[in-house]
Chain A
Amino acid sequence: MSETTDRLKQLPLGDWHRAAGGRMVPFAGYEMPVQYEGVMAEHLWTRENAGLFDVSHMGQLNLIGEGAAEALEALVPGNIYALGVGKIRYTLLLAGDGGILDDLMVTNTGRNLYLVVNGATKQDDIAYLQSELPSGIALHHLDDLALLALQGPKAAEALAKLDIRSTFPDGPVPGDLYFMEAGPFVWNDIPLGISRSGYTGEDGYEISVSAEHAETLAEALVALAEVKPIGLGARDSLRLEAGLPLYGHDMDADILPVEANLNFALSKARREEGNFAGAERVLAQYPRSADKKRVGLLVDGRQPVREGAAVVDANGAAIGQVTSGGFSPTLQRPIAMAYVPMALAETGTQILVEQRKKQIACAVTDMPFVPHRYHRKPKL
């Protein structure tokens, strides 16, 4: 084992992944499975059945204390104060200049705010939150928890086969949750925090479970006919097809929310209040006054364009950059995300990407590339 591998942290399910045939690679400081049987097969399995993803590298945090929602609102542009019990919101952790420090999910559990942040950024997030939040708000890093995502059109029918009950008498079963709802549950005396959410564009759940019980739960899930374990490779191609940005690639501290095409994360009430970190700079761009924007690209031909490739003008001068790119297993063609000048951000605009001295034609397109199939609450 190399030195690099020695310094990598192990997931609670590390040995389980290896036993299941996972090929382990370094990611976010952890040794994680990039694939089991192959990215293409795992990707398509998730789109048609249900995939089990170990996302235990992500940071699970609790914010506890009177006024936690207002305190968090100072750092995020989402409406947290008005978030109902059992509801989840996607939001952005912003620096004082409005740059995106992370994207995260916030759940109002009724007792506290439960946050899920990216693995590669969690230590920085914790330090930032601790320095910015008032002393009355406690921040707990729940690093004794694992996080499993069950994603795909058969996720709900699969999870319904386990005898999972609400911790409340007459409470819901997981299948009663709608997209972006969460609740506390118990399975064989094991407490589970279950959210109807994920990052593949499919229906599914994210399940928080103690590290010591993670293997028991993973075993029970992959024993179901609908479920196979899925690696990071397919997780990346699934989220790319779903048009979902990946922190550290499609956005970072130099990118503002409107540039990242995340206007939906700027809640109306918060825009009106204008009292979150970097609000002045962020709102000056809202809704369409940024110089550049994250867009989707349909790539001509068969060759993928990759992260780092330049978007160029007719003279070959760099005017933008590809931030994620790969081959879409669902569409059987290359797709990408890129930052382009606002004038080129309209759907249908033809642009050029230069890669290895070769220019490749692309068309700006709406995202998602593959429609989302979330289990949304019916509109009244």
Chain B
Amino acid sequence: MSRYFTDEHEWIDVEGDTATVGITDYAQEQLGDIVFVETPEIGAELSAGDDAAVVESVKAASDVYAPISGTVIEANDALEEEPALVNSSAEEDGWFFRLSLTDKSELDDLMDEKAYKAFVDDL
């Protein structure tokens, strides 16, 4: 399994043709207390850059974009009951949705962990 990152502070775990997407620990820290997550419909076909999810903190709403193209095959239902999972476990239990990938070559444009860390250190 490989983990990729975007400059929109999403992480993507890829296993075969399936990608699990969430927001990074840095992102949850910036957003603060998360009170609601709207995940995409199963079966939705997303192109890279499409609105995929919405994450709401006490104060503000933020869009989460599809980091790569694919069809939504699963959403994290646990976030409905416990949106704060994104704060407590952003990069594990607080995942948002899973995609069946359309074009794996899109992964080439994403950062690896080291590059993302350097990106965040620069902010």
Contact = CB atoms under 8 A, between A and B. Distances in A.
Whether chains A and B associate is yes
Interface of A: 34-35, 38-41, 43, 233, 236-237, 302-304, 306, 326-327, 329, 334, 356
B59 A303 contact: no
Nearest to B54: A356
Contact of A306 (B38, B51, B61, B80): B61
A350 to B, nearest CB: 21
Contact of A236 (B33, B59, B61): B59
Contacts of A237: 58-59
Contacts of A233: 32, 58-59
B35 A302 contact: yes
A38 B33 CA distance: 7
User: 8 tightest CB-CB pairs across the interface, nearest first?
Assistant: A40-B33, A327-B35, A39-B58, A303-B36, A302-B36, A327-B58, A233-B59, A39-B32
Given A43-B58, A237-B58, A38 B35 contact: no
15 contacts: A39-B32, A39-B33, A40-B32, A40-B33, A41-B33, A237-B58, A303-B36, A303-B56, A304-B61, A326-B58, A326-B59, A327-B35, A327-B56, A327-B58, A334-B35
B60 interface: yes
Contacts of A303: 36, 38, 54, 56
B94 interface: no
Contact of A304 (B32, B36, B80): B36
A99 to B, nearest CB: 28
Query: Which size bracket describes the interface of B in this complex?
Result: 10 to 19
Contacts, number: 47
B59 to A, nearest CB: 5
A229 B83 CA distance: 26
B71 to A, nearest CB: 21
A102 to B, nearest CB: 23
A160 to B, nearest CB: 31
Nearest to B51: A356
A306 B58 contact: no
Nearest to A304: B56
A289 to B, nearest CB: 35
Nearest to A305: B61
